[in-house]
Each structure stands twice: as C-alpha cells, then as structure tokens.
Structure 1
Amino acid sequence: MPRSLTGDAPPFDAPASASPVRVSREAVYRAVWRWHFYAGLICLPFLILLSTTGALYLFKDEINAALFPRRFVVPASDRPSLGPDRLVYVASQAVPDAAPLTYLDPAGPTDPAVVTMAKDGEKTLVSLDPRSGDVVGRVTPDGDVMMVIRRLHSLSYFGPVANGIVEVVAGFLIVLVLTGTYLWWPRGQVGGVVTVRGDPRRRVWWRDLHAVTGFVAGGGLLFLALTGLPWSIVWGQQVRALSNAAGLGQPSALWARVPVSTVPMGEALTQAGWALEDAPVPLSRPAPAAPIGLDRAAAILRARGMPAGYELALPVGPTGVYAAAVYPRDVARQRMISLDQYTGRPLVDVRFSQIGIVGRAIQVGIGLHKGEVFGRLNQFLMLAFCLAGIALSVTAGVMWWKRRPSGSLGIPPWPRAPGIVAGVTLLVVGLGALFPLTGAAILAMILADCGLRALTGRRPA
C-alpha cells in the first residue's frame, strides 16, 4: 500500500549522468504518484464514512442489545410461543388501520418477533415478546439506529445517484491500493516499509505510519471494496444479470413451471439474499378454498426444515403467496421458500447449494464483508480493516497538509515523459473499464486535468 497519498517525491531531478533506467523508474513513480493522489482525493472523505459506519454495523446485534435492550432482548422462558397469527393480530392492534406485510420469526430464545405494518406507504416495525405477546418496541425504519447506519453506509439516504458514488469510491479504492502498493514497494530504503521512523512531530512519521498501515491492511481494504461492489447500482446489477443469464447465479430452472409476478423477491423480503433479490415472486392459483393462514404456513416451513429467524411475507391479493427467506450467519443454511396461500404447496424451494457458483461466491463474500461467517474472528478482522481505512485517511490528510505549498493544492507534478504518463494513465483507465461508474469518473478527471494544464499553461515538470 502507499508510501503516502501525497508523500515525499523520489529524486525527480536526476543528474545528467543518471542512467536512463533510473530516470524511467522515477518517471513511472511520479505518474503513479499523481494517480494515487487523485484516487485518494476521491476516496478519503467517503472512506472515513464507509469505514466508520461499517465498523458500527459489524456489531449491530451487540449495539442494539446494549442501547435498546427492551426492544431487542426478551426474557428467556419455558412457556410456548404464541402463533404468528396471534402476534400479527397484536401488532395490528398496536398500529390501527395499518396492514401487516411481514412476520420475522425469533432467531433465538431471547429474540423478539417483529411484524412490519404499513399504512399510507409508511412502515412501522412492531417488536413483540413471542411468549407473552407484549409489544416491547415500535419504530419506523428511519428511526431504527442500525437502519440509519446501513443507509448511510450505502449512501441510499441520498438517492440512487449518491448510491452510485459508493461504486465510484470502491473502484477508486482498488486503484488506490494497487498504485499504493507500487509506491510502497521497497527500493533499498530502510524505514517506511515495515517500521515507522521519527515521532508525530515529523512528516516522515506520518508517511511511514501510512505506508506500514497500508502494507498490513491493503489486502483487506481491497477485499472490502470487491465484496461491497455487488451491492452497487450499475456494476452489481450487471454482474447479477450476467451470472443469472449464464446459469451461475439465480437457479431460474426452479421457476420454469411456476406462474410468477413482476414483483422481485428483494421488494417482498429484506432477507432474500443477493443472488435471489431479482427472482420473481411466484403466484398462487386462485381457489374457492380459504387461505391456509399464517400459523399453518409457519408449521409447513418448520416441517420443511426452514431455520429459525426466517422472514415471512404475507400474501397480497388473491394470487399472493407466503414467501419466506432466511439469511443466517451460517451461509450454507440460507434458504427461500414460497407457499401457495390456499394449499400450502411449495411453489419454489431454493437451498444455498442450488444457487450458481457465482451467486454462492458473492453471498459468501458478502457474509465475510459483514463479519457473519466465522464468528468473532470475522467481526474483529473486518473491524481492523475498517480502522485501518480511517487511519490511512487521517495520515494521508496530515501528510498532504504538511507538504502542500502555501496557497496550492500540492498536486504531484507529472514527469517529463509523455509516453510513461500515457502508459500509466492507460493502465488506470483499463482498471476503470471494469467498473463503469469509476471509469466514467476517471475519464472526467483526465479531461479536467488536461483542461487545468491548458488554462494554467503548465507542462509536466
């Protein structure tokens, strides 16, 4: 990872006797340094936000239990739980004139049941003690602390355009890690590789701290960027569509003989999982019989081995279904089942093993990203990478502040080697081509850089 975001320059002003190879290496270094600066300029403020919110969300269960124990922790008891029908009825009484949308089954003996109620487009999450039926909490999604943190993490609070910024930042973070690795690579120096010299009063201390932190955590930040991209608004949707079309994601054959709606599973369920979010919700065949009811649907799901903690969407209209999904920490136990509302017959039953290899790999990556796959070690490892992201951002900012000339942005100058500048830039553009929004941002930066040089009349140094 980086020697610095805007770190000390190599001996650019090589003497006339310097070898062509050395001059060439210095030119490459300066060109890479320039792009590292640009990538950091884009990433830094967002990296701090993403790292902070990501670190908090890793421990969402622990934070919720500590801050809101009444809503998230119910007393353990030997009493049998009430049926989902009864709990939904209690929730309906708590939010009059609202319609129940989903029922969340308790995942453990101290977890509440949660019913999502909707009225005039507004949702309310009603938490209940599953044994007593007491309402222990009621909140809108915008009032839920972890939902706020999650939406800040994805920038979805600010609309789809802002959400696209996350994709741009993730792509630039990959550029930042790769260019930083080149800048960090040892070239005979003693410090700044795995050791930190000086003290915080000296710029070299900040430079070395930045370099060593990047060396230790660069791979983890690259992993977080890559596993965060499947959620992105352009790249993620393209990968999902391509993998589904190739039979490597959604197992579309399971829907081949089932009537389906135009509603994607991701709209009906929050736990559908990345590979199945775009899968269509099946349709029940209208029948003269009465619907089986929520209690019977829950009993069928249990009989089919659905793990506890599943989310169950209630039927909407005469062709609606009971659609259930579970997204436990054990990725291999992820599952989705849809039941005909009149017969209880499973229309679609998808186990994790039936998802294509690309879909499975991405969902495992997402689970690791969220610290959910191998317990505390996964949580603390991801936390370390988040803290490293914050440390890299802070040290880069301090270095830039200390080295920038008065009244200038301190942008590293291009080398006097147009061929090398073009070559390095083409490599960066090639990386950007893998991520459409990042590529568009890179092209915009190239045009802005050319325009700046034209206006100021500056040439490469």
Structure 2
Amino acid sequence: METTPAARQPHPTRAAAQDPDKLAQKFYFAAWRWHFYAGLYVVPFMIMLAVTGLMMMLITQFDGRDGEKIQLTTVTEQALPYDRQAAAALAAQPGDLAEWIGPKSETLATVFRIKTDEGQRLVALNQYTGEVLKVWDRRAGWYDWADNLHGSLLIGDTGDRLIEIAAGLGLLLVLTGLYIWWPRDNWRAALLPDFSARRRALWKSLHGVVGFWMSALLIVFLISGLSWTGIWGGKFVQAWSTFPAQKWDAVPLSDTTHAAHLNHGHTNDVPWALEQTPMPASGSEAGITGTAEGEPVTAETVIALGRALGMEGRFRLAYPGSDKGVWTINRDSMSSDSDDPFIDRTIHVDQYSGKILADVAYADYSWAGKSMAVGIPFHMGLMGTWNFVLNLVFCLSVIFISVSGIVMWVKRRPSGAARLAAPPVPADLPFWKGALLVGLFCALAFPLVGVTLLVVLALDVLLLSNLPVLKRALS
C-alpha cells in the first residue's frame, strides 16, 4: 500500500532541480503518493477478490461445481441408453431438459440440467443403474455466492463497475510499487526479505519483496479479470475480439447471442471469444455432414457425433432453446471440462437435418480470444495441480501485501493524528507533462478509471482547495 524512503530529505530548491539524485527523489515521492492513494481504494477489493478466489478454487478442487466430482459406487460394462437416463433424471426433477453433462471418467456421475419454473436444477445420476444420486439448485451454493461477490459484490452492475475501477487502479498500484522498489543498486534487498530488520522496516521489506515477486502475475490476473468487466471488457476488448459469425459460410443466424442462450445467471459457461457472437439457426440447407443420414436427430445421436468428432471425457450438450435453436456440443476448460484450453471446441448442429452448422476450436479465435481462452482457466486455477498451487500461493500473497500495506500505514501515521498522513507532495516535480500524458493514456485505455481520476481531480480543485479542514484530514 505504501513504502517510505530510508531517510527523508528536504525538498530540493529550483536551483538544484537538475541534480539527477534530486530528480529521482521527486519521482520517488510522487510515485509513493500515487501508490498510497490508489491503495486506499484498491486494498479492500484486493482482499475480497483474493478471499473469494480462494473459496472458489478450493470448492472446485475438492467438491466441484456441476457435480463433476460425484463418485459412483456401481460401475458396469455398459451404460444405460440415453433415453432411460434422461427419463430417470426427469422422474426425479420434472421440467424441460436443457443440458447433458458427460462424466470425466467412467467412475463419475452423469449430470442433467433441467429448466423448471423455479429456475435451473441439476440432477446427478449413475448412468449404469439409473440411480439418482443428487438433485440441487444450480448456481445456489457457496461457490456461486463467492463467484457473485467476486464479480459484482452481490449488487449487479454497480458492483461490477466498482470492481472494474479497482482493477484499473490496481494496475497503477503495481506500476508505482515496482518503481518504488526497483533495485537501483541492491538487487539482494529487492529480491530477498531482510529478516534482521525490526518493526516497520521488516514489514516494508516483506511487503516490497513479496510484491516484487508477484507483480507480473498480478498484472495477468488484473487484465484477465478486467476482460470480464462490463465496460472495458464487454464494450471494448471483447466486442473487438469476438469470433466473427461471417466465417460460417451461408449459415443463417439467430437474433440470440451465445451468452444470452448458453450463459445462466452471473456465471459464464460460454468461451469468452464467443459470448457476443450470434447463434446459428436451424431450418436451412446449410451445413456439412453431421449425424448419419436417415438417423433421427436426437440427444443420443448428437452425443455420438461429438464422440466421433474427438470429444473425449467430459463435454456438454445443450438442447435447442426454440424451433430455430441448435444442438450445441461444447468442451471448455473454463467450465472445468478439461485442464487443456488448447482443445476447447464448440460445435453447433441443426436440430432438423443433423448437419454441422459451425465448428469453432481454439485455433479459430483471435489473438485476444486465444489469450483469454488460456487466461481464464489459468485465472481460475483449472489447468492442473501446478496451477492450483500457484494460484493458492498467489491469493495468500495478495492478502499479505494488502494487510502489510495497512500495517505500514498505521505504524507510520502519527499517533492521534486526525489525518491520513499521506506521503508528502514533491515540490517542482519535473516532467509533469509526460506524467499527464501517461495519465491521459490510462484514462482512455480504462474509461472508468479515467472518470474516477476526473472526479477526484474535481473534488481536489472544488472542495479540498476551499476547505482547509478537509484538506488537512486527507493530507
């Protein structure tokens, strides 16, 4: 949250302003001040994001989200026909079949998603015996509570915007922290904590070293998280990087996007690069050979088609949502279907002809889509045990640097002082025009951060300059 120089020096005079050491000191104080004020807003969000991220990773690792870890006690050589499995699921939970979720291995349960008047329900059953193992509300457990808090603070779009501002300012926090801690003449002090130090000096060393080591990973997490946000992600980056439906030659399109049809609530089930792409529509002569000619186009034959096309282990089949809807076969590492994002694949099949209307794999995404296809499961700790362990350490590190920043501020703040005790403003800061251009670029790249900076500037000019008591409290 904040760092202080080893020894405070008086502000240089204008005559000495060209001294390189004096210029460096001014930049140091400026970066420290920006780091401090950004931290005031960002630190509570960082702690929340790290704690909820830990919750989601631990639940996914040990319990699963969509029943993917429910073990079977009875396994035979042959699974029941699909229609008998579906009938058993509907007997346990009446409604409309919406999705079949295949098991990762032969010893794990098959799951059906069923639409009801009360919402989405999941039914896990033994595909060999038809025994129903569990019925539960989808997106209503602790994982989903943590996911909703992580993405929107449980308050919808307002929370999404507040988190987007925090993530943008988080990038400022990382960059200023790197400038403050950069090893100008002592790499050992930057890379290894000084355990011989005491009190605040020890906290400073631990804060700086842990922050230095995790800075690159934190930038990756912040940018991948920002790509899910409503303004920078949804309106800018994702909109420019969405898979173009025009690649599906002569395939009719519906008015529904992938996100509208396949996502459910606040949880995303569709690959990032396809969310804003229109869904293809059934009922034309378009497409290439899919299910065998003369075969009825049913869930069972479309699942068989998916396996024939190389879908092994866990993948999903979404039912057509209307008379123009399509069968959608999907394998997505973001949904924990596999731990390899490079084999992600989405296939749409005409519900009448059984022809394949669209087949989108990782290789078909734009560079941004490919980055997100890897970045999202990495962000979620779904790319294997190494990823889970790395993210576990990362989340604990985020919590530590956030708490240690608060501890350093409390220790530096004068006892009983009715003010923030912010770092001092450097006098006669050189190159302020260059800094202004950097700020302008950040404002354009991250619009909500730019709006926030403008509001803070307006408050500084209109209120703090005219209210000495408030100005002192925030200084």
TM range (shorter): 0.7 to 0.9
Measure how far apart 1:79 and its partner are: 3.2
- Matched with 2:335 is none
Q: Distance in 2 between matches of 1:9 and 1:38?
A: 20
Aligned pairs for 1:34-433 within 5 A: 34-64=33-63, 72-75=70-73, 77-96=75-94, 98-120=95-117, 122-155=119-152, 157-188=154-185, 193-197=190-194, 202-237=199-234, 238-244=236-242, 250-270=243-263, 271-285=269-283, 292-327=297-332, 328-373=338-383, 375-405=384-414, 406-417=417-428, 423-433=434-444
Q: Distance in 1 between matches of 2:178 and 2:109?
A: 47
* Partner amino acid, structure 1, of 2:45: F
The answer to whether the Cα contact below 8 Å between 2:3 and 2:180 also exists between their aligned partners in 1 is no
- How high is the sequence identity, in percent, across the aligned residues? 31
Measure how far apart 1:23 and its partner are: 2.9
**Does the C-alpha gap of structure 1 residues 28 and 273 become closer, same or farther in structure 2, counting only changes over 3 Å?**
same
Q: Distance in 2 between matches of 1:114 and 1:261?
A: 28
Q: Distance in 2 between matches of 1:306 and 1:34?
A: 54
* CA offset digits 1:152-211 (Å, max 9, x no partner): 221263201211222222211111110001111235579852343467961111111101
The answer to whether the Cα contact below 8 Å between 1:171 and 1:438 also exists between their aligned partners in 2 is yes
Tell me the TM-score normalised to structure 1 length.
0.88
- Matched with 2:289 is none
The answer to whether the Cα contact below 8 Å between 1:125 and 1:141 also exists between their aligned partners in 2 is yes
Q: Secondary structure at the match of 1:407?
A: coil
Say how many residue pairs are matched: 449
The answer to whether the Cα contact below 8 Å between 2:23 and 2:430 also exists between their aligned partners in 1 is no
Q: Distance in 2 between matches of 1:320 and 1:69?
A: 26
The answer to whether the Cα contact below 8 Å between 2:318 and 2:327 also exists between their aligned partners in 1 is yes
The answer to whether the Cα contact below 8 Å between 1:10 and 1:26 also exists between their aligned partners in 2 is no
- Matched with 1:442 is 453
Q: Distance in 1 between matches of 2:72 and 2:440?
A: 54
* Partner amino acid, structure 1, of 2:109: P
Q: Pairwise CA RMSD of aligned residues?
A: 3.0
**Does the C-alpha gap of structure 1 residues 155 and 332 become closer, same or farther in structure 2, counting only changes over 3 Å?**
same
The answer to whether the Cα contact below 8 Å between 1:7 and 1:400 also exists between their aligned partners in 2 is no
Measure how far apart 1:141 and its partner are: 2.7
The answer to whether the Cα contact below 8 Å between 2:348 and 2:359 also exists between their aligned partners in 1 is yes
The answer to whether the Cα contact below 8 Å between 2:261 and 2:321 also exists between their aligned partners in 1 is no
* CA offset digits 1:290-329 (Å, max 9, x no partner): 9622112211222222233222111223222211211122
Q: Distance in 2 between matches of 1:313 and 1:441?
A: 41
Q: Secondary structure at the match of 1:358?
A: helix
Which region of structure 1 is more displaced relative to structure 2, 450-459 or 82-91? 450-459
Q: Distance in 1 between matches of 2:132 and 2:419?
A: 59
The answer to whether the Cα contact below 8 Å between 1:31 and 1:424 also exists between their aligned partners in 2 is no
Which one scores higher on RCO, CA 8 angstroms, separation ≥ 6? 1
**Does the C-alpha gap of structure 1 residues 140 and 38 become closer, same or farther in structure 2, counting only changes over 3 Å?**
same
**Does the C-alpha gap of structure 1 residues 196 and 306 become closer, same or farther in structure 2, counting only changes over 3 Å?**
closer
Which region of structure 1 is more displaced relative to structure 2, 77-86 or 399-408? 77-86
Q: Distance in 2 between matches of 1:347 and 1:156?
A: 39
Q: Secondary structure at the match of 1:75?
A: coil
Measure how far apart 1:439 and its partner are: 1.9
**Does the C-alpha gap of structure 1 residues 391 and 319 become closer, same or farther in structure 2, counting only changes over 3 Å?**
same
Tell me the TM-score normalised to structure 2 length.
0.85
**Does the C-alpha gap of structure 1 residues 71 and 224 become closer, same or farther in structure 2, counting only changes over 3 Å?**
closer
Measure how far apart 1:263 and its partner are: 1.5
* CA offset digits 1:207-252 (Å, max 9, x no partner): 11101111111111111112222211111121122124xxxxx142
